[in-house]
């Protein structure tokens, strides 16, 4: 979708002019005010459409309710502009103009909502979905370009997580990372990974014919105010390994690299947004497959920091790849580390698809990310990191096991990861197992990948 900022959207010749209605108030459009039924109050989510019959430059006017003006926030704008764009698509519109009459800064969220609604993963369909091609928007107080770049990052993340594993394999992720502008990308192959001592990561990768790729992308601005590492779980496909998953549980395991997809989405646009932060993006990309060379339950692995891990279950593989990636990140002398991963089914059981789990070693940092996420439209709920969860990981033959007790699995996984965070680094772990991929439409999103984390992490970086 091409976004064009104009002096006055209501004067643009287009298929649909979208205006807003606050609850029990008139709109800025006289036709809507004249013909809308009394039942159209302007509550959030309500819509009313009318053919202009040549009285306006647009063919239709669509009014969308935004509720009471004093209750207006980012989420109300984003979700209801998305709803309006979906309605425009039903009208087979190609060009739409957005004329929002509100004091609240709405440009960024309007663009993000419109782009989310206009997204379809139809690459492999012979009949493509209908899309809006142009969006005109009246001059706004906030920077519409920020919304465009955030949406661009989300689109790449969603595309990659929606792609079949045959396409989005470790080599393809590495290839994509090497194509970004304004950043420096280094790809390490299997031999180099072994030289770095990443025994946990390599064990997971050894069962697949597709070799692992360790990806490090650097964005280094002049005079950075902070140094941050973002680590994305990059399991391009997770069969469960020798502890193989049931068929139904394996079906969407192409999305087990949603953390990596998020990180790639961020790094695609970071040089355009130009935050005053040095950013190191890290992905330990591989596949977890069963074969004669696969790692086995009972194996003892040595991570990059020298800690040993007894393999209790080969399907608890993501934390093994993250362990070595976190060690690498901490060695970069960064201030903050954020890892994002579709890590545990336990987090899905606890929070469903309504929110992601978050844990960390610094409550101030965790709360900062929760607030930024809420403003951006991504909910995070802090889960505990108590010693009892670490006790569940005790091993008779190694420093720890890679799984704990049956219950509290999300927190046990967080405590496992904490073992590989060193120094004075502020660290936050985002468990997005329930939010990365939807099995049915939810809010402004269609079924499939959501690009979770792109908005929160980018807005965190932009806060500097």
Q: Which of 245, 272, 379, 418 is catalytic?
A: 245
Distance between CA atoms of residues 217 and 458, nearest Å: 15
Is beta strand 300-302 parallel, antiparallel or unpaired with respect to 308-310? antiparallel
**Residue 454 structure tokens:** 């792109």
- CB–CB of 88/19 below 8 Å? no
* 91: CB partners within 8 A, 6+ apart: 15, 16, 49, 60, 62
| Buried/exposed 304-334: b ≥16 CB within 10 Å, e otherwise | bbebebbbbebbbbbbbbbbbbbbbbbebeb
Match 């965190």 to its residue by tokens. Answer: 460
**How far is residue 227 CA from its own chain's centroid?**
21
53 classed as catalytic: no
DSSP single-letter state for residue 419: T
Phi/psi region, residue 451 (left: phi>0; alpha: psi -120 to 50; beta: rest), is left
Q: Which of 155, 213, 319, 390 is catalytic?
A: 319
319 classed as catalytic: yes
Distance between CA atoms of residues 289 and 285, nearest Å: 13
Nearest to 385 by CA among 355, 420, 361, 356: 361
Catalytic residues: 245, 319
């Amino acid at each position: 979708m091409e976004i064009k900022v104009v002096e006055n959207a209501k004067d643009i010749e287009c298929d649909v002019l979208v205006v807003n209605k606050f609850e029990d108030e008139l709109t800025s459009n006289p036709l809507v005010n004249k013909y809308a039924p009394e039942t159209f109050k302007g509550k959030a989510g309500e819509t009313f459409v009318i053919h202009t019959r040549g009285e306006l430059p647009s063919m239709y006017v669509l009014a969308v309710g935004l509720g009471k003006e004093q209750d207006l926030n980012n989420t109300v704008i984003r979700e209801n502009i998305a709803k309006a764009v979906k309605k425009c698509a039903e009208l087979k519109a190609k060009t739409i103009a957005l004329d929002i009459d509100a004091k609240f800064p709405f440009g960024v969220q309007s663009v993000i909502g419109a782009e989310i609604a206009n997204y379809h993963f139809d690459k492999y369909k012979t009949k493509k979905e209908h899309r809006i091609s142009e969006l005109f928007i009246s001059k706004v107080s906030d920077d519409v370009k920020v919304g465009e770049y955030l949406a661009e990052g989300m689109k790449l993340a969603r595309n990659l997580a929606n792609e079949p594993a045959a396409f989005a394999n470790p080599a393809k992720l590495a290839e994509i990372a090497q194509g970004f502008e304004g950043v420096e990308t280094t790809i390490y192959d299997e031999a180099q990974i072994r030289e770095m001592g990443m025994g946990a990561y390599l064990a997971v990768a050894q069962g697949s014919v597709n070799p692992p790729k360790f990806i490090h992308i650097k964005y280094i601005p002049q005079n950075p105010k902070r140094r941050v590492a973002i680590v994305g779980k990059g399991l391009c496909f997770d069969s469960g390994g020798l502890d193989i998953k049931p068929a139904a549980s394996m079906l969407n395991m192409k999305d087990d690299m949603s953390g990596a997809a998020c990180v790639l989405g961020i790094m695609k646009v970071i040089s355009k947004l130009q935050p005053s932060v040095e950013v190191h993006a890290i992905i330990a990309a591989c596949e977890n497959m069963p074969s004669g060379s696969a790692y086995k339950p009972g194996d003892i692995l040595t991570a990059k920091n020298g800690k040993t891990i007894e393999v209790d279950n080969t399907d608890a593989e993501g934390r093994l790849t993250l362990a070595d990636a976190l060690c690498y990140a901490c060695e970069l002398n960064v201030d903050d580390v954020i890892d994002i991963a579709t890590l545990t089914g336990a987090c899905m059981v606890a929070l469903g698809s309504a929110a992601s789990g978050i844990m960390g070693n610094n409550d101030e940092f965790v709360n900062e990310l929760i607030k930024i996420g809420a403003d951006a439209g991504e909910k995070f709920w802090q889960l505990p990191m108590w010693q009892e969860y670490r006790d569940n990981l005790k091993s008779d033959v190694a420093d720890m096991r890679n799984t704990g007790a049956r219950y509290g699995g999300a927190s046990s996984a967080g405590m496992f990861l904490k073992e590989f965070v060193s120094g004075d680094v502020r660290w936050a772990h985002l468990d997005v197992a329930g939010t990365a991929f939807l099995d049915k439409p939810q809010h402004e999103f269609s079924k499939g990948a959501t690009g979770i984390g792109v908005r929160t992490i980018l807005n965190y970086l932009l806060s500097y």
